[in-house]
């Protein structure tokens, strides 16, 4: 993750993604818009050439339902980029040690692990799907920013709700380890 994206994420409170990962995260939105665009183009062609391709169409199903689903998926994917902020009393180096220990205790493996960013990618073995999760941890002074989304390097699923569980598990483990460190 580039420093520019890290700074923008911390400033906005939302996880900023590279253009490729952004498309991968939101790919379902244009997918739902394909039927209305296709039928709109054919209807325009029909009108301009005075041909009758379609006799009678239920426009509610062709236009309103896919556009509504597209907007719903956009909203779901958008709110998943919000960062969870944890204020700590530990300095950044100490918090980094606690985070690495928490990740190890949860059985996760970091794909990027440096002083400011830890990115954990996990496989989703449920139903043998070709997806997974990405947990992003940003460390800035005594603040830790957490986010869990579907892995943008794999197929994203707007209906999968396991992202909040990842954050909850990580926060619980951080609190447990923090309490041990203070003793």
* pLDDT (tens digit per residue) in 18-31: 999 888 888 889 99
pLDDT at position 58, please? 67
- Confidence at residue 128, expressed as pLDDT on a 0 to 100 scale: 44
The 3-state secondary structure of 28-47, one letter per residue: HHHHHHHHHHHHHHHHHHHH
How far apart are the C-alpha atoms of 3 and 88, rounded to whole Å? 22
DSSP string, the chain: --HHHHHHHHHHTB----HHHHHHHHTHHHHHHHHHHHHHHHHHHHHHHT--S-S---HIIIIIHHHHHHHHHHHHHHHTTBPEEEE-SS-HHHHHHHHHHHHHHTT--EEEESSSEEEEEEE--GGG-S-EEEEEEEEETTEEEEEEEE-TTS---TT--THHHHHHHHHHHHHHHHHHHH-
Kindly report, residue by residue over 104-128, the tens digit of the pLDDT. Answer: 998 888 888 888 899 998 876 555 4
- pTM beyond 0.75: yes
With 80 as the cut, is the pLDDT of residue 51 above it?
no
**Choice between 158 and 100, residue whose per-residue pLDDT is larger:** 100
pLDDT at residue 34 in the model: 92
Give the model's pLDDT for residue 131: 66
Confidence of residue 101 (pLDDT cuts 50, 70, 90): very high
* Mean pLDDT, range 122-150, rounded to an integer: 79
Instruction: Taking the CA atoms of 60, 62, 65 and 68 in sequence, report the sign of the dihedral they define.
Output: negative
Is 80 exceeded by the pLDDT of residue 156? Answer: no
List the structure tokens of 101.
Answer: 């220990």
């Amino acid at each position: 993750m580039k420093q520019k994206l890290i700074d923008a994420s911390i400033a906005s409170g939302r996880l900023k993604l590279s253009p490729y990962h952004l498309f991968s995260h939101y790919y379902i939105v244009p997918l739902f818009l394909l039927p209305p665009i296709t039928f709109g183009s054919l209807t325009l062609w029909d009108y301009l050439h005075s041909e009758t391709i379609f006799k009678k169409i239920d426009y509610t199903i062709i236009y309103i339902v896919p556009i509504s689903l597209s907007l719903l998926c956009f909203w779901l994917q958008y709110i998943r980029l919000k960062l969870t902020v944890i204020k700590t009393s530990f300095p950044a180096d100490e918090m980094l040690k606690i985070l690495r220990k928490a990740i190890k205790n949860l059985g996760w493996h970091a794909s990027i692990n440096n002083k400011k960013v830890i990115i954990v990618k996990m496989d989703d073995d449920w139903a043998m799907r070709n997806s997974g999760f990405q947990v992003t941890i940003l460390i800035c002074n005594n603040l830790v920013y957490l986010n869990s989304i579907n892995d943008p390097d794999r197929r994203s699923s707007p209906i999968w709700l396991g992202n909040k569980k990842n954050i909850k598990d990580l926060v619980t483990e951080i609190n447990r380890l923090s309490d041990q460190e203070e003793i």
